Amino acid sequence: MSELKATLANVQAPEYENNIEPVTLSDQTMKERYDRILAKMKAEQLSTLVIYEDLEHGSNFEYLTGFLTRFEEALLILHDDGRVIYVLGNENLKLEKHARLKGEVIHCPHFSLPNQPLFDDRPISDYLNRSLFKTEGTIGLVGWKLFTGQNEKAEKLFDMPAYIVDTIREQVGNEHLVNATKLFIGDNGVRTTNNVNEIAHYEFGASLASAQILKALEAVEIGKTEMEIGQILNAQGQPNSVVTIAATGQRFEQARLYPGHKPIAIGEPVSLTVGYKGGLQSRSAFAVHDASELPAGQENYLEEVVYPYFKAIATWLSSVKVGLSGKEVYQLIENVLPKEQFGWHLNPGHYVADEEWMASPIYENSDVLLKSGMLFQVDIIPSIKGMSGTSAEGGILLADETLRRDIQQTYPEMWERMCARREYIEHTLGIKIHADMMPLGNAFPYLRPFLLNKEKAIVIESNDTKN
């Protein structure tokens, strides 16, 4: 690989991708999901799987059921013999008839909102009683988190509310319980790869995030408020996968996370982030026209922060492919953007799905092999003392030749969008993108470091990388 050179150049911005319609998950896909998790249960010798859900931690539940219970908690209980049980609160009993996975229903009012009626005031153990669990084998509890440290018994750490875990433990005994979240999002979890229908389903949200970040970038002007920009980022009534960020100046003042009435001022840093199911777009840059307007201490912002970061992004796109191990990707970024110098601490890339960060196979010493059908956020966060940050985060699909052919045949319009995005990255931004890379939105990795100059963006001046 030759040395990459990033530079600031006149660049035509990507055009908005409008009128993309959402794609519903098919009955076949939903059946495949259930069949896969049932096979995983049997392989792990789990007789029962108990999947917890609330609005913030519901993606493993939604993966099988097709819905979230919004403001209530719920359990989905699966038996290895095919029995399916929903445990639902007061206001979600009506949703069971719409569920993509059919099953019997237990009404547990304890899962409802505070002070709602308990009706017949019985203890929770009457609802979560022993009959719901097969104790011939191990019982797996599924929350949303993996515990991967080496110094704890991760299989006995449970990220469900204590009142649920304690009740189940009383019914079946602690020796039967293990954390089984890995079946969904672990190194070989069922959710780490996607079929072509799932890819089309998630591409809608990723492309929407791209369209809105591009519109927000165009709208950035001195005097515009955070809320005015935030209104642009949120679109079409779609649920966000993360808190929308439209922040100018110092972030988190008075612990404030949301866009406020603060106007953008010349020379201030600006942070923009929006995410939907399937993808997120993030940008960090300055509200200036050129380097002469950068604040004191930031004069070398391009050379010290932006250019090295963009070269790392270009390296990721040109080098990552199906069959690489997670540790190889990790080392790739360490080689071009050393952690000790550039201060990144998290995984340089992670899975994306219904949630913005599902898990990541990219970590030091990871032997996980990257597979066709994986959806990734290319998420590298430099943090250099005394310097403002930069970001052009976005999502990609890893797709081998077979999957690419399947996309072309099944979803030809999505295929054309993905090819157009590749064309822009290669011929406008100068990045030689690997054949396995199919961008999920057209804003990534377009980066304007000076937000008031809407003609210039970062490009790779020369790139001799061979795919």
Write down how long the chain is: 467
What does each C-alpha distance from 170 to 179, 206, 364 come to in angstroms? 16, 43, 39
**466 Cβ contact list (under 8 Å, min separation 6):** 432
What does each C-alpha distance from 24 to 204, 231, 258, 382, 408 come to in angstroms? 10, 26, 31, 37, 18
Contact (CB, 8 A) for 8 and 449: yes
Q: What does 267-322 look like in DSSP terms, one character per residue?
A: T-EEEEEEEETTEEEEEEEES-SSGGGSPTT-TTHIIIIIHHHHHHHHHHHHH--T
DSSP state of 83: -
DSSP state of 255: G
Nearest CA-CA partner of 46 in 140, 130, 133, 185: 140
Q: Tens place of pLDDT for every residue, the chain, 467 residues?
A: 468 999 999 999 999 998 899 999 999 999 999 999 999 999 999 999 999 999 999 999 999 999 999 899 999 999 999 999 999 999 999 888 899 999 999 999 999 999 898 877 899 999 999 999 998 889 999 999 988 876 668 889 999 999 999 999 999 999 999 999 999 999 999 999 999 999 999 999 999 999 999 999 999 999 999 999 999 999 999 999 999 999 999 887 778 888 999 999 999 999 999 999 999 999 999 999 999 999 999 999 999 999 999 999 999 999 999 999 999 999 999 999 999 999 999 999 999 999 999 999 999 999 999 999 999 999 999 999 999 999 999 999 999 999 999 999 999 999 999 999 999 999 999 999 999 999 999 999 999 999 999 999 999 996 443 44
- How far, in Å, CA of 445 to CA of 439, rounded? 10
- How far, in Å, CA of 458 to CA of 446, rounded? 7
| E strand residue ranges, 192-278 | 245-248, 269-276
Encoded tokens for 259? 């866009």
Query: Which pLDDT score is estimated for 2?
Result: 61
- How far, in Å, CA of 221 to CA of 214, rounded? 14
Nearest CA-CA partner of 440 in 401, 407, 406: 407
Residue environment code for 45-64, b if the CB has 16+ CB neighbours within 10 A, otherwise e: ebbbbbbbbbeebbbbbbbb
- How far, in Å, CA of 167 to CA of 224, rounded? 53
Written as one letter, the residue type at 84 is V
Helix (H, G, I), strand (E, B) or coil at 120: coil
- How far, in Å, CA of 373 to CA of 438, rounded? 10
What is the sign of the dihedral through the CA atoms of 16, 19, 20 and 25? positive
Helix (H, G, I), strand (E, B) or coil at 151: coil
The distance in angstroms from the start CA to the end CA of the chain is 10
Contact (CB, 8 A) for 228 and 251: no
- How far, in Å, CA of 418 to CA of 439, rounded? 6
What is the sign of the dihedral through the CA atoms of 397, 308, 454 and 252? positive
φ and ψ at residue 186, rounded to 5 degrees: -70, -175
* Beta-bridge mates of residue 10: 456
Encoded tokens for 219? 């709208």
Which CATH code of 3.40.1000, 3.30.2000, 3.40.350, 2.30.30 fits the domain covering 45-179?
Answer: 3.40.350
- How far, in Å, CA of 52 to CA of 437, rounded? 34
Contact (CB, 8 A) for 86 and 74: yes
- How far, in Å, CA of 4 to CA of 458, rounded? 12
DSSP helix, strand, coil percent of the chain (3-state; round to 5) = 35, 20, 45
* Beta-bridge mates of residue 158: none
Encoded tokens for 466? 């061979």
- How far, in Å, CA of 92 to CA of 107, rounded? 9
Query: Which pLDDT score is estimated for 136?
Result: 87
Q: Could you name the CATH architecture of 6-22+191-460?
A: Alpha-Beta Complex (3.90)
- How far, in Å, CA of 442 to CA of 211, rounded? 8
Query: Which pLDDT score is estimated for 119?
Result: 78
Helix (H, G, I), strand (E, B) or coil at 227: helix
Domain boundaries, the chain: 6-22+191-460, 45-179
Residue with tokens 């389903």: 201
pTM for this prediction = 0.95
Helix (H, G, I), strand (E, B) or coil at 183: helix
Contact (CB, 8 A) for 248 and 222: no
Contact (CB, 8 A) for 25 and 277: no
